[in-house]
Amino acid sequence: MLDILIVNGLVVDGTGKPAFKADVGIAEGRIEVVADSVEQEAAHTIQAQGLRVAPGFIDPHTHSELALLADPRAVGIPCIVVNGVIVLDQSQHTGALPGQVL
């Protein structure tokens, strides 16, 4: 059984190919199935007709730390999240390698 089933959405998968209509099934926090029609039962179903559905994107080059310096409440950060970015990589500004903590 799926935890969440998103139906009739326009999926943007980040590969560069055009968006496509599909259902997306999620279980235990992971995308389990993307298909034209998912018939599995789900604890929660979200009707996404007319909406875009996308996984969380990684922004490999960002200057979001400037927003935090300008406003500690991070007023600029919500616009990043609304656009689907869930990971910001700041390593290129610190000299760290990706995944390394200084």
Topology (CATH level 3) of domain 2-53? Urease, subunit C; domain 1 (2.30.40)
Q: What pLDDT, in 10s, does the model give residues 20-61?
A: 999 999 999 899 999 999 999 999 999 999 999 987 777 776
* Tokens, residue 30: 């992971």
CA distance 23 to 35: 6
Segment 68-77 shows an average pLDDT of 64
pLDDT at 15: 81
CA distance 87 to 17: 22
* Tokens, residue 41: 């039962």
The answer, as to whether pTM is greater than 0.85, is no
pLDDT at 56: 72
Q: State the Rg of the chain over Cα.
A: 17
Report domain extents, the chain. 2-53, 57-94
How, if at all, do strands 52-53 and 20-27 pair? Answer: unpaired
